[in-house]
Amino acid sequence: MRIIIVGSGAGGATVAKELSANATTGNDNGRGIEVLLIEKGPAIDDSKDASRYYANIRSSEVEILRTFCLGGSTTVSAGNGMRALEKELSVLGIDLSEEFKEAERELGVRTLPDSHFGEGTRRIMAAAGDLGFEMKKMPKFIDPIRCVPCGKCSFGCPNNAKWSAIEFIKDAEKNGAKIITGMPVDNIIVKDGEVVGVRSRDKTFRADIVVLSAGALETPRLLKKQGLLSMSSSTRTRTRTRTHTHTPRIFVDTFITIGGILKGVRLNREVTMNALIAFADFTLFPHFSNHLVKRMSVSGIKTSPDDVLGIMVKIKDEEVEVGEMAEADEVKKGITKKDAVLLSEGAAIAGAILKRAGVEPSSFVSTHVRGAHPGGTAMIGEAVDKNLATEVSGLYVADASVLPASPGAPPILTIVALAKYLSRIILADLT
């Protein structure tokens, strides 16, 4: 029995670890599960060079951030670990309470001690409190003993203090899983309604089960090639395998960072996004971005990164139709009127907090609009069922594509929990 997992990020690495652990403990009833993880990007040392593997989509109105490498986008995460979409999934009949607990334990989710809060975050927390907003510490999958605050979380942690999916991949390898890197899967092979393998360039890999975990922009492309996703009505084509159609949509948790000058504050050298205020449809986090410095320079304000204090405004954005997706630059994510209203509400509060924290308002600038949590392109109830199964027998999805709504919050824990849930379903089916 060979199981192929396509993609090694939050979803794929978890499935590889879970299935391979089971194969070596003998719980597979002697079936001999062979786990093969196929990753498009290279194997990397995420403590050194994760930021080299950003594969952002800049042509979209909202720039979409992601990476292509072993460990996927988890290698550049800010280490934020929150349960997201628990209620929405429960309404769909998916109870992840056990999986969340396990994920929190394995990733080491906790808030960091006061020693890991610098001047910038403290000032923002205090200013928010003065204005009547309670800013809480962010739960992190960062080991406080190894963490030397440096502001480099989203470049790859230089001290290996932050969990990334590479840890799960190492576990999977120890369990006997085989990992192939630098191998983009181009096609899923289906015969008589059953998955039988995948193809990468001129290579064919046979499989009894395939789990797609190539991320919310690549997984739907692979599904689309099988006719398992319909695109816009003008390009819709009928296939043998599809029995219903939908138009794929996307959300990205759209965000901006606004900031201004506060001499010597050095937020850029602190643990990224170490606190939060959650509103109904948006969340604020202390956040430094180099784009703020660049924007100031364009406005004729010369400043150093050490002198900038900023706040990220991240919204639960509306899902919009994703576009053709045949190539990366055909992925379209725009801003709706509701998104614009939420961004401006958040920016108004962020501005008030920054002013109270001591930032000179005449220096305020905003980054362009971005999103780092693409999802929803192969939703539960549309492209996959409650068991994360597609209409092709043996073909499953475990990544951000299946998320049923914009989380407006860090999705890694939820994706890991869903991948654990799927692993259990697959193993139960094998017994």
Ligand X SMILES: Cc1cc2nc3c(=O)[nH]c(=O)nc-3n(C[C@H](O)[C@H](O)[C@H](O)COP(=O)(O)OP(=O)(O)OC[C@H]3O[C@@H](n4cnc5c(N)ncnc54)[C@H](O)[C@@H]3O)c2cc1C
**Which residues of this chain interact with ligand X, rule CB under 6 A?**
6-12, 38-41, 65-66, 68-69, 72-74, 76-80, 154, 184-185, 213-216, 218, 372-373, 399-400, 410-412, 415
Backbone angles phi, psi at 257, to 5 degrees: -120, 130
Backbone angles phi, psi at 328, to 5 degrees: -55, -40
CB of 92 to ligand X, least distance (A): 18
- Taking the least distance from each CB to ligand X, the nearer of 154 and 390 is 154
CA 79 to chain centre: 11
**Which residue has tokens 């403290």?**
122
CB of 130 to ligand X, least distance (A): 27
Q: Is the dihedral of CA 151, 157, 161, 163 positive or negative?
A: positive
**Can you tell me the distance from the alpha carbon of 209 to that of 199, in angstroms, rounded to the nearest whole number?**
14
- Specify the 3-state DSSP secondary structure of 149: coil
CA 182 to chain centre: 21
CB of 85 to ligand X, least distance (A): 12
Determine whether 244 is exposed, middle or buried from the number of CB atoms within 10 Å of its CB (0-12, 13-18, 19+). Answer: exposed
CB of 30 to ligand X, least distance (A): 30
CB of 23 to ligand X, least distance (A): 21
Backbone angles phi, psi at 197, to 5 degrees: 160, -170
- Taking the least distance from each CB to ligand X, the nearer of 154 and 257 is 154
C-alpha distance from residue 163 to each of 140, 373, 385 (Å): 9, 18, 30
- Taking the least distance from each CB to ligand X, the nearer of 127 and 409 is 409
CB of 150 to ligand X, least distance (A): 16
- Taking the least distance from each CB to ligand X, the nearer of 196 and 352 is 196
79: left (phi over 0), alpha (psi -120 to 50) or beta: left
Going through 46-151 in order, the beta strands assigned E by DSSP cover: 63-64, 136-137
- Taking the least distance from each CB to ligand X, the nearer of 142 and 359 is 142
- Taking the least distance from each CB to ligand X, the nearer of 66 and 295 is 66
Query: Which residues, other chains included, contact 202 with Cβ-Cβ below 8 Å and sequence gap of 6+?
Result: none
- Taking the least distance from each CB to ligand X, the nearer of 85 and 261 is 85
Q: Which residues on adjacent β-strands are paired with residue 231?
A: none
- Taking the least distance from each CB to ligand X, the nearer of 69 and 320 is 69
CB of 75 to ligand X, least distance (A): 8
CB of 300 to ligand X, least distance (A): 29
